[in-house]
A = this chain, B = another copy of it.
């Protein structure tokens, strides 16, 4: 029997400092953008219209940041998380050069931490993943940590190494895409008048709409990113698995949360950072996804009067409208029904 098929890396295959080039690279196209719109309903004007993007100084409409994120993430799965038990969290995510249709993204990951679990059957792998375009410009980089099975529970534990990760990307490190000027930003075309000055720390926004996920949809999204993690696709094997059914790829929940956030954050034209995030619980076909956002802090950007940043917490739920902003219980754990807890930073025009 051939061993040419790949079963993915197990915990003992990783070493701190190891750098893994992921395959294959991926040319992003207008076709990907159309599918992303059809799968998420995203309406941000900068991603929707070349004309609008051009008026801000973009050569054309950049692709949605979460589409770019999912494309990079998709590259990493085969090497990092094919044998993952859980995708535990994100931190230190920063978006760099915008991604345009025609760009080819490659990705690599560096192992930055390892910690075996006490039962000796699995461990936590921390990686920093980076997506670059065909000119070597960084599109985004982020850290994530996943719990991965050991192939052999008898294999020795590696030295424990847990990386120090920042609570948030510093405002001085946020990238405003080169050449962008927000003075011409036309709020009649973006769908909202609310700009940077209109958001206050502590403000909470219910994004109102809910969207029910179908099996066909989440699998289309996940395959679009060439994410081959089997838990999303194989109903026969998952029937006997942990949840009895296929699990929705967490990145699709990220996409839906960002798309839903348009209703209240229509002018948050780009994501600059993912400070931290957790997929709190799994979603399944049939679940209806809602989201709400708290403004953690408005942030002025050094030297810019045309654009500011908002650090946000967006929470996505399932089967739970967000009128009352469901989040955590008294004991600090997330309420049942919370899917995603995402701390991120967006850019938004300032009032002239």
Contacts and interface: CB of A to CB of B under 8 A. Distances in A.
A3 to B, nearest CB: 9
A60 to B, nearest CB: 8
A217 to B, nearest CB: 5
Most buried by B among A4, A210, A211, A246: A4
Given A210-B234, A288-B234, A49 B24 contact: yes
Interface in A151-170: none
A203 interface: yes
A226 to B, nearest CB: 5
B4 A41 contact: no
A230 B212 CA distance: 10
Interface stretch (A26-34, A85-93, A326-334): A26-34
B5 A39 contact: no
A34 B32 contact: yes
Contacts of A4: 192, 194, 198, 205, 264-265
Contacts of A224: 34, 37-38
A23 B188 contact: yes
Contacts of A43: 23-24, 226, 228
A264 B206 contact: no
A21 B246 contact: no
A214 B212 contact: no
A220 interface: yes
Nearest to A48: B24
A39 B35 CA distance: 11
Interface residues of A, number: 84
A25 B48 contact: yes
Interface in A185-209: 188-192, 194, 198, 203-209
Nearest to A215: B214
Given A6-B192, A191-B78, A31 B35 contact: yes
Given A1-B204, A264-B4, A29 B24 contact: no
A223 interface: yes
A50 B100 CA distance: 14
Contacts of A223: 37-41
A288 to B, nearest CB: 4
18 contacts: A6-B191, A6-B264, A24-B45, A25-B189, A29-B33, A38-B220, A38-B224, A39-B223, A42-B226, A50-B102, A209-B230, A212-B215, A212-B234, A216-B217, A228-B263, A236-B288, A236-B319, A237-B288
Interface of A: 1-2, 4-7, 21, 23-27, 29-35, 37-45, 48-52, 61, 78, 101-102, 104, 106, 134, 188-192, 194, 198, 203-212, 214-217, 219-224, 226, 228, 230, 233-237, 246, 263-266, 286, 288, 319, 321
